[in-house]
Amino acid sequence: MRIPYPSRRSPIDDSFWLPAPSKFLGIARNYAAHARERGGSLGGEFPVFFNKQISCIVGSGDAIVIPAISPQVDYEGELAVVIGRRASNVSIAEALEYVAGYTIANDVSVRDWQQRSPTMTLGKSFDTHGPLGPWLVTSDDIADPQSLEIRTYVNDELRQRASTEEMIYSVAEQIAVLSIACTLEPGDVIATGTPAGVGAAFDPPRWLCAGDVVRVEIDEIGVLSNPVVARDSLAS
């Protein structure tokens, strides 16, 4: 089933309902090529997770705002998982049973703020820097979340292209690890990592600019598209 997302109710089936997320979590450097372009892995033999404040969430078509405080705004196209039922201390083998569905995320990052703290939370949580959608595809329609292709375009220029099979830690492994530390609740979102090709990896870096359009495509899910605007352009 394909459901408009973010949305609290499905127009297709009123019995399908998810609360708004209480948590928006992400994983750092979960594709080997991206880890290399950013200077190597962060956690060695253990995944490194971070938090994005849920106030950053916007939908497809909404603007990504470049804050006045920093021009170093970057894109990260990702597969996102939406949790369907409470998950606490679940095993890898059963982890996918707790997934309501899959959507697309753009883990927009303010790089200089991200690098100021090892938690990365502030640099990942600016308002409008959590685009999600435009669809939630229920888990029964995604046979294997590790066999999807991700493509990210900036102004129709292909910047990122990879398969989710290249993840270092699979979707199931991420859910299992997170559920040991904190109970995952229905509606919670996990952004599962971005491939190589982020703007910070270019020389010189290619930050997002007002007037850009970022488009993230994932097979079997759809297209997440967001224009980029400057903070000043919203004053009117």
Q: Is the dihedral of CA 78, 40, 178, 169 positive or negative?
A: positive
pLDDT at 140: 93
Q: Distance between CA atoms of 196 and 33, rounded to whole angstroms? A: 5
How many domains does the chain contain in total? 1
Secondary structure class of 124 (helix, strand, coil): helix
Q: From residue 106, how far is each of 59, 89, 93, 129, 226 by CA, in Å?
A: 10, 28, 28, 8, 9
Strand partners, 163: 149
pLDDT at 7: 72
Question: Could you tell me the pTM of the whole model?
Answer: 0.93
CATH code, domain with 143: 3.90.850.10
pLDDT at 10: 45
Report the half-sphere exposure of 193 (CA within 13 A, side-chain side): 30
- Tell me which residue range forms the domain holding 90: 2-234
Q: What is the pLDDT of residue 41?
A: 66
As a whole number of angstroms, the distance between CA 64 and CA 208 comes to 9
Tens-of-pLDDT digits for all 236 residues of the chain? 899 999 755 444 555 678 899 999 999 989 888 878 877 666 667 899 999 999 999 999 999 999 999 999 999 999 999 999 999 999 999 999 999 999 999 999 999 999 898 889 999 999 999 999 999 999 999 999 999 999 999 999 999 999 999 999 999 999 999 999 999 999 999 999 999 999 999 999 999 999 999 999 999 999 999 999 998 755 44
C-alpha distance from residue 178 to each of 65, 72, 86, 182, 209 (Å) = 30, 29, 12, 6, 34
Q: What is the DSSP letter of 96?
A: G
